[in-house]
Amino acid sequence: MGFAGLVFIEILNMDSIKFFMCFTTLLFAYAQAATLAESPPIILTPTPAPAPAPDYVNLTELLSVAGPFSTFLKYLESTKVIETLQNQANNTEEGITLFVPKDKAFTSLKKPSLSNLTADQLKQLCLFHALPHYYSLSDFKNLSDAGPVNTLAGGSYTLNFTDVSGTVHIGSGWTNTQVSSSVHSTDPVAIYQVNYVLLPEAIFGTDIPPPAPAPAPVPDIAPVADAPEADGGKRKGKVASSSSTSSSDRVIGWSVWRCLMMVVVSVGFAVAL
C-alpha cells in the first residue's frame, strides 16, 4: 500500500472518530432531555431575610429628655450602674424594667439620708431600682401573687408588687409608692416613673419607723344659713319664749288688778260704816 493509501485510510479513521463523537454527543443530549422531561421541575425557595435587630435603646438619652430625672441619672453615672443597665437592655433576651424616682423624691428624702452611704451601698441602691426582665403594666397583675421579685441588686434586694384597679403599687419595707406614669414601654425596655426613692432593708435595716398617723378629719360644720331646720328651731324657740313672756305679763297684770279692786272695795266698805 502506498503513501496515498495510508493517507486515505487515516482520513477515513478521522471521519469515523468525528462521526462517533457526534453520535455519542447526540445520544447523551437525548438521554438528558428525556430525564429532565420525566423528573419534576425544581422550585427554588427564596431564603427569608433575617429579622431586623431591635433598635439600640440609649438609657442616658431617655432619662435626660423625659421627666426631671437628673438626680437619679447622676447616681447611675457616678456608680457606673448605667453601663450595667445599658448592657441588660440591649444585649440580653430578658430585657429590663427600670423604676425612676423624680428629682423631688430625692429632695424630699430627709431620713434616712443617702449622704452616709458607701460607694458599694449607693451602687446597690441604684441596682435596686431595676428588674432583670421586661414587664409591661399588665404583667404586674401576675406579679401581685408571685411574692417578692428579685432586682438587679440580687440577694435579699427584692420588691413586692400589688395591682390595685390597674395602679401598680411597690413595697420595699421602707418605701411604699406607686407607678405614676410610663416613660418608655417597648420590649425589651420598660421605664416607669415612681413618686419615692426605693429604699432596701438590706441597706437601711429592718427597724422601720411606723408611718405618720393620718391627720384627724376636720368636722364639717355647716353655717347657720345652710341649716334651715336648726335656724327654724331657733326662731321657733324665740317665738315660744316671747309667747311665754307675754302670758306671764298678762297673769301678773290681772293679779295686780284684782288686788287693787279688793283694796278699793275694802276702803269703800270702811267709809260706809
Least confident window among 95-99, 166-170, 183-187, 255-259: 255-259
In the block, which residue shows the cell 437628673? 70
What is the largest distance, in Å, between two alpha-carbon atoms of the chain? 223
In the block, which residue shows the cell 462517533? 20
Q: What is the pLDDT of residues 99-130, one digit of tens each?
A: 999 999 999 888 888 989 999 999 999 999 99
Q: What is the pLDDT of residues 76-85, one digit of tens each?
A: 999 999 999 9
Torsion from C-alpha of 183, 186, 190, 195, nearest 10 degrees: 20
Mean pLDDT of 17-23: 65
Mean pLDDT of 249-273: 55
Task: Burial-class residue 194 by CB neighbours within 10 Å (0-12, 13-18, 19+).
Answer: buried
- Given a cut of 90, whether residue 157 has pLDDT beyond it is yes
Task: Give the C-alpha separation, 161 to 171, whole Å.
Answer: 6
Q: Which amino acid is at 12?
A: L
The pLDDT-based confidence of 257 (bands split at 50, 70, 90) is low
Task: Give the C-alpha separation, 149 to 211, whole Å.
Answer: 24
Cell reading at 230: 336648726
Average pLDDT, the chain: 78
Residues 124 and 171: beta-carbon distance below 8 Å: no
In the block, which residue shows the cell 305679763? 249
Q: Which amino acid is at 251?
A: V
Q: Is the C-alpha dihedral spanning 113, 117, 122, 124 positive or negative?
A: negative
> 96 forms bridges with which residues in the sheet?
189
Mean pLDDT of 199-203: 95
